[in-house]
Amino acid sequence: QKEVEQNSGPLSVPEGAIASLNCTYSDRGSQSFFWYRQYSGKSPELIMFIYSNGDKEDGRFTAQLNKASQYVSLLIRDSQPSDSATYLCAVRSGGSYIPTFGRGTSLIVHP
Amino acid sequence: DAGITQSPRYKITETGRQVTLMCHQTWSHSYMFWYRQDLGHGLRLIYYSAAADITDKGEVPDGYVVSRSKTENFPLTLESATRSQTSVYFCASSNTGGSTEAFFGQGTRLTVV
């Protein structure tokens, strides 16, 4: 069974700090990796996707992928209270269009 | 409006009743999914569909039925609702080209009493 693991948190960081969220996955055939943000009572929304090893940056967000170690991470620079949410990692295997989600990490950014 | 919409947003039903949750998308995405989200379990896949008239079970399909006669609609039916089916249900869709991320509807909060 394909598994995606995340620390449930909460991860608490001060405003302006870097928040680091991690995700590991079990299927070595995984090819697509997604980070979603979910505010309380809302639906998940995509923040970033990454397919290749290395870093991908988009504004204050950086996704990092290491396929050899089977982990993907999300860095949020200059964290803001509005970043407080649950962050879901999703993984899709090659040849499949079905994403498998981790349980999410709760992030709290305090002023 | 373009996007993916779910209805109703909130539903209270009694144990044993049949209830149908609706999902409609305007992108003509091939894939559609139903997830339930519960504290401590995250998003769990109930059913998915690769195209009209093609559906398959996910991780937790028992007690649910789906159909997809048209590409844009993917209703989820609870045949005889149980309290354990109290949850938030999300419908999602994705394409098979481009970035292939899943787009989510607003969710339906279902309470079975």
SS3 of chain A: the string is CCCEECCCCCEEEECCCCEEEEEEECCCCEEEEEEEEECCCCCCEEEEEECCCEEEEECCEEEEEECCCCEEEEEECCCCHHHCEEEEEEEEECCCCCCEECCCEEEEEEC
What does the pLDDT read at residue A96? 83
What does the pLDDT read at residue B98? 66
Lowest mean pLDDT among A11-20, B37-46, B55-64, B82-91: B37-46
**pLDDT above 70 for B1:** no
Inform me whether the C-beta atom of residue A99 falls under 8 Å from chain B C-beta atoms. yes
Give every residue of chain A whose pLDDT is below 70, as ranges.
none
**Residue of chain A minimizing CA distance to B58:** A98
CB contact under 8 A, A43 and B35: no
**Residue of chain B minimizing CA distance to A4:** B42
What does the pLDDT read at residue A25? 96
| Pick from B42, B58, B100: CB nearest A103 | B42
Question: Which tokens belong to B81?
Answer: 């609702």
| Pick from A43, A49, A104: CB nearest B90 | A43
What does the pLDDT read at residue B54? 95
What does the pLDDT read at residue B101? 86
CB contact under 8 A, B104 and A98: no
Q: What is the largest CA-CA distance in chain A?
A: 44
What does the pLDDT read at residue B30? 92
**Residue of chain A minimizing CA distance to B6:** A43
Contact yes or no for B98/A32 (Cβ under 8 A): no
**A109: amino acid identity, one letter:** V
Inform me whether the C-beta atom of residue A45 falls under 8 Å from chain B C-beta atoms. yes
Distance (Å, whole) CA A102 – CA A24:
9
**pLDDT above 80 for B97:** no
Tens of pLDDT along A8-36?
A: 889 999 999 999 999 999 999 899 999 99
Kindly list the residues from chain B whose CB atom is less than 8 angstroms away from the CB atom of residue A98: 31, 33, 45, 48, 58
CB contact under 8 A, A49 and B45: no
**pLDDT above 70 for B28:** yes
Count of Cβ atoms closer than 10 Å to residue B14 Cβ: 9
**Residue of chain B minimizing CA distance to A95:** B96
